[in-house]
A and B are shown apart, each in its own frame.
Chain A
Amino acid sequence: MTRDEVILAIKDIITTIAPDEELDGLNPAERLRDQIELDSMDFLDIVMELRKRYGVQVPEEDYKELASLDSCAEYLGPKMADIELKVGA
């Protein structure tokens, strides 16, 4: 998965969790929380979906690495380099 595909994967997960949120205009550098309504329950679900769809583990102390789309790509990029993108799961 490329960096852009990691971001797509995360956006697709957010669409599953929060179908009413508009994701098109998201600024990748800005915290997700400041742009759309995501609480700690939703971040847990992002982690759970990553594990379910891609087998990627995110330990609790690393949840903060998922704050923005850029930081997601940074953190998850190496872990997901050899994994295929699955959208619309």
Chain B
Amino acid sequence: MSQSDGPFDAIVIGAGMSGLAAGIRLAMYDRRVLILERHYLWGGLNSFYKRRGRLHDVGLHALTNFAPKGRRGVPLTKLLRQLRLRHADLALGEQSFSEIAFPTERLRFSNEFELLMSEIERAFPGQVDGFRALTAEVMGYDSFSPPDPAQLARPVLERHLSEPLLVEMLMLPMCYYGSAIPGDIAWYQFAILFKSFFDEGFARPAGGIRPLLDLLVKRYRELGGELRMKTGVAEILEEGGRAVGVRTDSGEELRAGQVYSSAGYAPTLGLCGRGDEVEPDDRGRLSFNETVIVTDRPPLEYPGQADAPGAGAAIVFFNDSDTFHYRPPTEDGPPRTWPIDTRSGVICSPNHYAAADPLTEGVMRFTALSDPSFWDAFDDEAAYAAAKRASSEALLDSAARFAPDPRPFEVDRDAFTPRTITHFTGHPLGAVYGAPNKRLDGRTPVEELFLIGTDQGLLGVVGAMLSGISMANRHGLMSQASS
């Protein structure tokens, strides 16, 4: 057991997807790396936990960016190469299909782009040329080094599509899976997600997120990387404008030549005592409530519901009117009784992916926009639990209009709020996708202190790992390759 106290070449704050991937890259080329994780489990937003004997994923809906083994030039292939993993190591099972469901129209898509194309032809025959032009613009766009990162997606969609309903239907899944911006999403993020959904696709690692995380931790340790759990960072140490290490929650000083932080931009500056340099758009405000229902049988076996809308879908993105509202609930119109906005949401089921060992129980997961400040304000745990339960019911009532209702067959339920997300990620207000401002080059006002993960700008399981990889390459390996 290594108990070295430095100096390290690099300290990585957070053992989530980005931190583990950055750690692997640095350790692969003989950097002395230490990853510090405040929580007792690794994974960050994509962690896992056990409750009443069942293993749950914290954040995993789907692994987007699915590509078959050997497909060239796509993120998954790059990621596997960079981490020296084999495609088979991920044990990915492909989705059945997914849907975007509005009251007047549903669009189905799968890992074959042609299905979406035929759905557009069926539902929006007048928009086919516009959709093709949009697709061509997405595919031709250099989304990983965008020339105009401030460009928003909605105006681009409206330039190609004259049918407002189709614009709303395309905005819904992209916002839910990656926007930190109320009411819109950055165009380059839209382009990344569009490719990751429709040109690539959805898959699920066998056994959920845990085997994948364990693989990353194993690879990191094999390469000589050190991982300390239950070790939070209280302060990033700075000398002459340059990061030189960290002080842990227990007061230990650890020195390092570089610090990589997945804590988010604002919290990272806070750790440097530079909280006053944070701008409003450095703070994210969008978060979610989730409810996971376990049932005694898989969803396709719910009696009388096999032909219900959304039955058999891996993911249903729903919205109950022709207009999609993507804002923190309290900022959208008059105050509501509920702290969550149940007009739209995401319903997903791990049962609907190909698997060598199909799940015997059913699992359905429901997600909706939520107001973080509401949940942060509770100090009475019983009242918090009651509000969580009530919100969970409201979300399930709303979702039952778009997908099978698992409640008659429920054997277990777990729900979480933005407060839970803060607990796992350390991100204030449970901001799942971080702040509207992204730092694509990973730089901060402090030299040798770099951002990885959410606030660097790449999202999702594959995106987060690529974030860690690309920042480690650029700042840790490339600049020092010739030194």
Contact = CB atoms under 8 A, between A and B. Distances in A.
B477 A48 contact: yes
A60 interface: yes
Nearest to A51: B481
Contacts of A16: 84
A45 B482 CA distance: 13
Contact of A60 (B77, B78, B470, B481): B481
Given A39-B78, A44-B477, A52-B30, A20 B482 contact: no
Interface in B446-483: 469-470, 473, 477-478, 481-482
A41 B69 contact: no
B78 A48 contact: no
Place the interface of chain A in its size category.
10 to 19
Contact of B478 (A19, A37, A44): A44
A57 interface: yes
A42 B481 contact: no
B225 to A, nearest CB: 15
B81 interface: yes
B410 to A, nearest CB: 45
Contacts of B473: 41, 44
Given A41-B473, A44-B473, A48-B481, A17 B81 contact: yes
Nearest to A39: B78
A44 B78 CA distance: 13
Contacts of A60: 478, 481-482
A59 interface: yes
Interface string A19-63: 110000000000000000101011011011001100001111000
A83 interface: no
Interface residues of B, number: 20
Contacts of B73: 37, 39
A18 interface: yes
Nearest to B483: A57
B49 interface: no
A20 B70 contact: yes
B29 interface: yes
B482 A57 contact: yes
A18 B482 contact: no
B478 to A, nearest CB: 6
A86 B482 CA distance: 21
Contacts of B81: 17-18, 41-42, 45
Contacts of B86: 19
A20 B73 CA distance: 13
A44 B469 CA distance: 12
B87 to A, nearest CB: 9
25 contacts: A16-B84, A17-B81, A18-B81, A19-B86, A20-B70, A37-B72, A37-B73, A39-B78, A41-B78, A41-B81, A41-B470, A44-B473, A44-B477, A47-B481, A48-B29, A48-B477, A51-B29, A51-B481, A52-B29, A52-B30, A57-B481, A58-B481, A59-B481, A59-B482, A60-B478
- The 9 A-B pairs with the shortest beta carbon distances in the complex, nearest first, are A59-B482, A37-B72, A48-B29, A20-B70, A47-B481, A57-B482, A44-B473, A44-B478, A18-B81
Interface of A: 16-20, 37, 39, 41-42, 44-45, 47-48, 51-52, 57-60
